[in-house]
A and B are shown apart, each in its own frame.
Chain A
Amino acid sequence: MRERSTSLPRCVLRLYVAGNSPNSVRAIANATAICAGNPDAGYRLEIVDLLKFPKRALADGVIVTPTLVKLRPLPVQRIVGNLSDTAEVLLALGDQ
């Protein structure tokens, strides 16, 4: 049977942004679009504001925003920038 998107996510992403700054807004839009465009990949996306939670960023090894962190499956991957190059992002995520 095919896995439904409501089951456990196979790919856990965390996007660090800085409030509503322009690149962050763009990155959120791009990341959301990538997740929505690949429903079978089982993405789960969490968005974290660096301006509010700088320590979480440091704990995840993130020092600039926007940065998308792929937490699962391992290995952890970090993609820096506004994620406008979808192909490159998918490649970095392991072409899910």
Chain B
Amino acid sequence: MRSDPAQNNRGLAQRLAEAEATIKALLSGQIDAMVDAESETPVLLFQAQHALRQSEEQYRQIVEATSDGIVKLDLGGGIEFVNPRFGEMLGWPPDGLLGTNLLDLLRPAPSVTLRDALLGRPSAANDEIEATLCHQDGREVAVNLTAVVLADGAGAPIGTLVVVRDVTQQKKLQAQLMVSDRMASMGTLAAGVAHEINNPLAAVIANLDYVASNVEGVVTGHGVMEIPSAAWLAEEVKGPLDDARLAADRVRHIVKDLKIFSRSPDAEVHGPSDVRAVMESALRMAWNEIRHRARVVKVYGQTPLVDANEARLGQVFLNLLVNAAQALPEGQAERNEIRVSTGLEAGRVVIEVSDTGMGIAPEIIGRVFEAFFTTKAVGSGTGLGLAICQRIVTEMGGQLTVTSQLAQGTCFRVALPVATREDAEVAAAPFAEVSASRRGKILVVDDEEIVLRAVKRSLAREHDVEVVLAGARALALCASGRKFDLILCDLMMPVMTGMDLYRELSKLVPQQAGRMIFLTGGAFTPDGRTFLSEPPKENIEKPFDSANLRAIVRRYLG
């Protein structure tokens, strides 16, 4: 069979034209790839490679511009690559870290879990891990690490890629949030506390006024009797004074509760704490929120001490109590109940706060501990309270959990480990009255005249008491050669503080400095705390009652 020469020619001409077009396209850079006809595999041409390089460049720019540190490790943890951000986090130029082992930069030395994750061991979890890295200047940098195993084409591990996020700022913010939440709680309760103080204070003032007018009557002769009988004195003077004293004691308790909550959070003092006492304080603080809404039922079982920071624990209890109160409608206190119980379960101290409110719907109960989750109206809750409570409890090694039934109520449960140290501070027992030892010379230094007069009245029958309103005046007296058996001195005073006076006296008349006892109001500055504890110095907390004050002075002089 013969082919058609004309058709053959047309086909040939077309192939030629195509070849020409291909060469033209090649020369003008319009060809990306070709097929190797022999091996039947595609081959990318220069432009395509260039495009790939561009895409790699884009990835490089992303790696360099990201706010996270990125580190590539070999199988032993040696650093093969870091992006500039990681170097910056630790104060090194990026090249300065190549060859260093990442495990050596961790403080403290890494746990097994962290080590496995960083070295890409199969057992390792893929979660973010909290860790601390060492900065070039020695300080510590808090980070979250996520490690991904890198594998070759056959799936064999060749190292790990670690993404490092600097969480120093985040940690600071969390700490600030905790403080601001406490401030918010305090703000909510300030009105209630003022109310709690005002009631007994009204009783103190009314009773003192009553006594003052009675006594004035006797003194000026306009009263019922000119020479008061014992019965009249008991009825008209002693009775009201006793009531005033009782009321003043109530104020003292409330101020003591406030001190628990306002204790500086940076002190972070952990110690054996009685959860019942902390709960009682929290109940008194929250009383104004609770009393219109519910009866309080307390069931305190056997409750060993826990190792906790009382201010933090108080913040948790206060939050739970206020939440419980707010779950109940106002004005039906007799029909609703807030139940507070403590006890020991499976070796842990368990505290429960439950209410008979409307309960939490099952679909949202899983979210109550999320930050910023709130069901309260805008402005009445930050949505942070429970999230922060959970964090505090977790940091104490405990758990905060919730159970709830719609229309039945909700129960929050705190489980805490029992304190291992049983060196609980012994509550300051009132000093037994001891008979007067000897008449001493006492100097009292305070910037409050009212305090000076009260201390002088309490001590003047048994001792020679001199009072001064300023540290400088006390210093001048001692410097002039006057000798005192005891110097009672306020710690916090304007101009010259008790601490300043102590330091000055130590230089001028050291034996007098050694005779100082400090009066403290509780609101310590960090300096004040250090001063009193190193080396330990005697101090008396305000408010003090006169019997205790006299006992302390006698003990000191005796």
Chain B: interface residue total (CB-CB under 8 A): 23
- In the complex, chain A residues 44-95 whose Cβ is within 8 Å of any chain B Cβ: 50-51, 54-55, 57-58, 62-66, 75, 78-82
Say which residue of B18, B22, B33 sits within 8 Å of A50 (CB atoms). B33
B26 at the interface (CB under 8 A from A): yes
Contact with A along B41-57 (1 / 0, CB 8 A): 11010011001000000
Q: For B18, give its contact among A17, A19, A65, A78 (CB under 8 Å).
A: A78
Contacts of B51 in A (CB 8 A): 20-22
| Cβ distance B26 to chain A, nearest Cβ, rounded Å | 7
Tell me whether B21 and A65 are in contact (CB under 8 A): no
Which A residue sits closest to B34, measured CB to CB?
Answer: A64
Given A21-B47, A21-B48, A64-B26; A54-B35 close (CB under 8 Å): yes
Nearest-CB residue, chain A, relative to B21: A80
Cβ–Cβ contact B18 & A18, under 8 A: no
B 18-34 to A, binary, CB cutoff 8 A, 1 in contact else 0: 10011011101111111
Q: Are A66 and B30 in contact (CB under 8 A)?
A: yes
In whole angstroms, what is the CA distance A50 to B35 when docked? 8
Task: Decide yes or no whether B40 CB sits under 8 A from chain A.
Answer: yes
Residue of A nearest to B22 (CB): A80
Q: Name A18's contact: one of B26, B37, B48 (CB within 8 Å).
A: B48
The interface size of chain A toward B, counting residues with CB under 8 Å, comes to 25
Once the chains bind, are A65 and B32 in contact (CB under 8 Å)? yes
Tell me the complex Cα distance, A23–B51, Å: 10
For B22, give its contact among A20, A23, A54, A64 (CB under 8 Å): A64
Determine whether the beta carbon of A79 is less than 8 Å from that of B44. Answer: no
Contact A63 B35 (CB under 8 A): yes
Whether the Cβ atoms of A82 and B30 lie closer than 8 Å is yes
> Within the complex, what minimum Cβ distance (angstroms) separates A4 from chain B?
33
Among A21, A55, A78: residue with most chain B CB under 10 A: A21
> A63: which B residues are within 8 A, CB to CB?
22, 34-35, 37
**Chain B residues within an 8 Å CB radius of A23:** 29-32, 47
- Name A80's contact: one of B18, B35, B47 (CB within 8 Å): B18
1/0 per residue, CB under 8 A from A, across B414-429: the answer is 0000000000000000
For B31, the chain A residues whose CB sits under 8 A away are 23, 64-66, 80-81
B33 A51 Cβ-Cβ under 8 A: yes
A32 to chain B, nearest CB (A): 17
Indicate if the CB atoms of A64 and B42 lie closer than 8 Å. Answer: no
Q: Are A81 and B14 closer than 8 Å at their CB atoms? A: no
The answer to whether A58 and B40 have CB atoms under 8 Å apart is: yes
Distance in angstroms between the alpha carbons of A22 and B51 in the assembled complex: 7
| Complex Cα gap A45–B374 (Å) | 56
Given contacts A23-B31, A65-B31, A78-B18, are A58 and B37 in contact (CB under 8 A)? yes
In the complex, chain B residues whose CB is within 8 Å of the CB of A75: 14
Given contact pairs A54-B42, A78-B18, A22 touches B28 in the complex (Cβ within 8 A): no
Question: When chains A and B are docked, how far (Å) is the Cα of A66 from the Cα of B29?
Answer: 11
CA A61 to CA B33, docked complex, whole Å: 14
Chain A nearest Cβ from B227, distance in angstroms: 113
16 residue pairs of the A-B complex, CB under 8 angstroms, read A19-B48, A21-B47, A21-B48, A21-B51, A23-B47, A24-B32, A54-B35, A58-B37, A62-B35, A63-B35, A64-B26, A64-B34, A65-B34, A78-B18, A80-B22, A81-B28
- The residues of A with any CB-CB pair to B shorter than 8 Å are 17-24, 50-51, 54-55, 57-58, 62-66, 75, 78-82
Instruction: Known A-B contacts: A18-B44, A64-B33, A66-B31. Give 5 more (CB < 8 A).
Output: A21-B33, A22-B47, A23-B29, A57-B35, A81-B25
> Shortest 7 CB-CB distances between A and B: which pairs?
A18-B33, A21-B32, A21-B48, A81-B25, A81-B30, A18-B32, A80-B25
